[in-house]
């Protein structure tokens, strides 16, 4: 029986041991010096760094509002386009991975198929968190112009949803990189391009 802490994104502390054979061969500390880091691996890491950065921006932005460093209208104007960018790009990124890259990677290295299934499951959990994030953000935006209590309640609800999403996303991105980047380093871009 599978241990839920191996697959549930909210419980997992890293990839299960049986999926770590390539990251042990190619540890993170060696990635930047590897010949195969350019191309697909570099692009993947850049996209993940962008998601981390925008997640931090949203977290910092709601904290600025809640701590009085930014007014509600100023925060809403700053917040809405960044949140839309974050949610849309993350959803699109996951769709491409699920439909194209993960199946291609699992064919090349069958011992990692369970890892790609775990990552696919993560995407479903993250999608649910994205939906809650959007719902609480819209609740906050609708509360603008209402009572201060309603606005504060809406901001707190969004902050909680954002914190949960960012934590899950952080774990997922780290685990995905530990599975995928060593595979790219090991096999090279040409062997892994989806057809």
Q: What is the pLDDT of residues 126-138, one digit of tens each?
A: 999 999 999 999 9
More confident residue, 6 or 33: 33
Query: What's the pTM value of the predicted model, to 2 decimals?
Result: 0.92
Q: What is the pLDDT of residue 40?
A: 92
14-44: burial string, b at 16+ Cβ within 10 Å, e else: ebbeebbebbeebeeeebeeeebbeebbeeb
* Separation of alpha carbons 176 and 172, rounded Å: 6
In this predicted model, what pLDDT tens digit does every residue of 94-107 receive, in sequence order? Answer: 899 989 899 999 99
For the chain, which residues make up each domain, given as ranges? 42-192
- Per-residue pLDDT of 44-64, as tens digits, reads 999 999 999 999 999 999 999
Domain 42-192: give its CATH code: 1.20.120.520
């Amino acid at each position: 029986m599978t241990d839920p802490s191996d697959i549930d994104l909210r419980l997992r502390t890293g990839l299960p041991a049986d999926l770590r054979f390539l990251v042990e061969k190619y540890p993170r500390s060696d990635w930047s010096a590897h010949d195969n880091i350019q191309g697909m691996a570099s692009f993947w890491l850049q996209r993940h760094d962008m998601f981390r950065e925008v997640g931090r921006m949203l977290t910092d932005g709601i904290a600025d509002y809640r701590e009085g460093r930014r007014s509600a209208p100023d925060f809403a104007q700053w917040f809405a386009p960044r949140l839309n960018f974050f949610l849309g790009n993350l959803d699109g990124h996951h769709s491409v991975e699920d439909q194209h890259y993960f199946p291609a990677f699992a064919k090349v290295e069958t011992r990692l198929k369970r890892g790609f299934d775990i990552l696919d499951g993560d995407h479903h959990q993250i999608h649910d968190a994205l939906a809650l994030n959007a719902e609480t953000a819209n609740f906050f935006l609708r509360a603008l112009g209402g009572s201060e209590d309603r606005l504060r309640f809406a901001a707190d609800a969004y902050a909680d949803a954002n914190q949960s999403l960012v934590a899950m996303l952080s774990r997922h991105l780290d685990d995905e990189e530990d599975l995928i980047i060593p595979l790219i380093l090991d096999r090279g871009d040409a062997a892994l391009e989806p057809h």
